[in-house]
Amino acid sequence: MFYYTYKITLLKGSLAGHYYYGQHRTNNLNDGYCGSGRIIKDYFKCYDKIEGITYVKSIIQFYNTPEELNIAENELIGDKYITDNLCINLIPGGNGKGRNKGYKHSDETKQKMSISKKGKKITEEHKNKISESRKGKTFKPHSEETKQKMRESALKRKPLSKEARKKISDSKKGKTPWNKGIKINKNK
């Protein structure tokens, strides 16, 4: 059994440059595990798991026991999940403190979450300002000239190399699609 801490650095979209620290216990170092946090899972729904293209995974250190692993992850994440805007961890690490593993928010944290969810009441004055700012604005479809420019831009894109296509293909083999069993209503 291998016990290790790792860092995932995201490479695509608005989360490019953001990172996620985690721990993993496995018998197979090539099992494709990339974290269990909500943000990291949502990211991989949008951008497939293609190492070197959508993310980079670095193993930080191996450990001998689960206890050493928990301590190391806790020290690794520390308060970065609060203080560093690039860190996408949602909670401190260590001791398997996840949503499904008995983690409890402090009363202070619960109070802050409650306040943030309640939001502010919009005054009539504010509603009127929003209304005035939207008056007369219409959303028009793209002109034919703009559509043609977009087509030309798409044609100029460099095709993926054979190596990149093979990596994509290999990463998808044997995996269940993320949307399997989800019915999508295309009529909406």
Per-residue model confidence (pLDDT) at position 100: 40
Per-residue model confidence (pLDDT) at position 159: 79
Quote the tokens at residue 167: 């990596």
Burial class (CB in 10 A: 0-12, 13-18, 19+), 90: middle
Domain assignment of residue 115, yes or no = no
Q: How many domains does the chain have?
A: 1
Domain assignment of residue 158, yes or no = no
Dist. CA 58–CA 29, nearest whole Å = 12
Q: What is the pTM of this model?
A: 0.51
Per-residue model confidence (pLDDT) at position 98: 44
Higher pLDDT, 81 or 104: 81
**Dihedral pair phi/psi, residue 69, rounded to 5°:** -65, -45
- The dihedral region occupied by 128, where left means phi > 0, alpha psi between -120 and 50, and beta the remainder, is alpha
Ranges of beta strands (E only) in the chain are: 2-10, 19-26, 55-63
Q: Which domain holds residue 62?
A: 2-99
Mean pLDDT rounded to a whole number for the chain: 82
| CA angle 96–102–107, rounded 5-degree value | 115
Domain assignment of residue 127, yes or no = no
User: What pLDDT, in 10s, does the model give residues 5-22?
Assistant: 999 999 998 889 999 999
Domain assignment of residue 37, yes or no = yes
Per-residue model confidence (pLDDT) at position 101: 47
Domain assignment of residue 50, yes or no = yes
User: What pLDDT, in 10s, does the model give residues 91-148?
Assistant: 887 665 444 445 567 788 778 777 776 766 778 888 888 888 888 777 678 889 988 8
Higher pLDDT, 156 or 35: 35
Give the whole-number percent of the chain exceeding pLDDT 70: 85
User: What pLDDT, in 10s, does the model give residues 25-71?
Assistant: 999 988 989 888 888 888 888 888 888 899 999 999 999 999 999 99
3-state DSSP assignment of residue 188: coil
Of the pLDDT bands very low, low, confident and very high (cuts 50, 70, 90), residue 177 is: low
Per-residue model confidence (pLDDT) at position 24: 92
Higher pLDDT, 182 or 108: 108
